[in-house]
Amino acid sequence: MTERVLTTRELNRALLARQLLLERSELSLTGALERVAGLQAQYAPSAYVGLWTRLRDFRRDALTKALEQRRAVQATLMRATIHIVSRRDFHLFAAAIRDERREWWFRVQRRQLQLEGVDMEKVAGRVQNHLADGPLRQAEIAERLRAEGFPRIAWVGAGMWIDLVRVPPSGTWEGRRADLYGLAETWLGPSTATQAAGLEHLVRRYLAGFGPASLKDVAGWTGLPATTLRPVVDGLRLRRFRDEGGGELLDLPRAPLPNPDTPAPVRFLPTWDATLLVHARRTQILPESARPLVFNTKTPHSVSTFLVDGAVAGTWRYEEGRVRLEPFGRVPREARRDLDEESERLAAFHGEEG
């Protein structure tokens, strides 16, 4: 049977639906984190804005409380970037990526940090010992290692051997520097997750949040080689489609594929929202003409953006109690009215107390 070809517009609406950007969801906070496969949080407020734009009646203190109550977890995960995920997903994600992160460390990072010859397993053991009595700041971990004869920077590699989490109040709206670390096994309890279970879970989460997608897309988002993921994909019961260029797309059974004519409301995205990264390029949520305006050498941290009809149409920033818009071009009158209303709501969100 000939595989169905999905248009760019269909892929765009599928992504928006799965990322909870077609309509605000009434899912629980942890349910939303699992639906969208976690949120990047290199800049702490990004996850808060990301949930505000996706959930109905979301308030800032809800995420802070979820982190404090350990229902949500902040840690360095996929592609060695900071993510906020559910407690359940953390253990499985960490098990999936652990071996590849160590290989990446030996291949690339150790050399860049001039740590060749340093026994990283011994370093990790010392860090684990230091954290046994509770969380410590990054600077204190580094100083303790220095006092024991290790380079201060060596602590960076410890997370390749032991699972670390960033502990609140660090990495929250109120305390934005995510530099307080704890042991995952202490903060969350021991894990029985295996690499095999983790890899399957990771692929399922990706397709549920970003599919239909190619194997290369999955690899790009996870930071794992396609050769590692191919046996996992081959072992799953998946739907298969083609994109307009003939490339194979993978998807979960019964995952939503909205009508391509489904209206897409105005939405505001934070910095580093994963929907804009290259793994989702085929959806054109970020038009190629706009990509250099969002990701470039002058803005390596990316910028906050807004969507009109399912595509980035400009940037926004919060200052002096207002959300200021910088469109990339002409915005239709009706969309401008919606942008103004949404801007007021986002400004009020920034101004919340507590």
pLDDT tens sequence across 174-183: 999 999 999 9
User: How many CB atoms are closer than 10 A to CB 299?
Assistant: 13
pLDDT class for 354, splitting at 50, 70, 90? low
Q: What is the pTM of this model?
A: 0.95
Q: Which residues of 147-177 are buried (b: 16+ CB within 10 A; e: fewer)?
A: eeebeeebbbbbbbbbbbbbbbebbbbeeee
- Look at residue 86 and give its three-state secondary structure: strand
Cα 53 to Cα 105: distance, rounded to the nearest angstrom: 35
Cα 175 to Cα 169: distance, rounded to the nearest angstrom: 6
Q: What is the mean pLDDT of residues 230-255?
A: 97
How many Cα atoms occupy the beta-carbon half-sphere of 310 within 13 Å? 24
**pLDDT over threshold 80, residue 282:** yes
Q: Given this model, what pLDDT does residue 204 score?
A: 98
Q: Given this model, what pLDDT does residue 1 score?
A: 57
Q: Given this model, what pLDDT does residue 200 score?
A: 98
CB neighbours of 27 closer than 8 A, spacing ≥ 6? 20, 35, 55
**pLDDT over threshold 90, residue 243:** yes
Mean pLDDT for all residues in the chain:
94
Among the residue ranges 33-42, 98-107, 316-325, the one predicted with the least confidence is 98-107
Q: Given this model, what pLDDT does residue 301 score?
A: 65
Cα 138 to Cα 152: distance, rounded to the nearest angstrom: 10
Among the residue ranges 38-47, 106-115, 185-194, 289-298, the one predicted with the least confidence is 106-115
Q: Given this model, what pLDDT does residue 117 score?
A: 84
**pLDDT over threshold 90, residue 300:** no
pLDDT class for 302, splitting at 50, 70, 90? confident
Biggest alpha carbon distance in the chain? Answer: 66
Radius of gyration of the CA atoms of the chain, in A: 21
Q: What is the mean pLDDT of residues 196-201?
A: 98
How far, rounded to the nearest angstrom, does the alpha carbon of residue 93 sit from its chain's CA centroid?
Answer: 12
Tell me the C-alpha to C-alpha distance, in Å, between residue 110 and each of 79, 101, 103, 203. Answer: 16, 12, 10, 28
Cα 171 to Cα 249: distance, rounded to the nearest angstrom: 36
Q: What percent of the chain has pLDDT over 70?
A: 98
CA angle 292, 298, 301 (to 5 degrees): 85
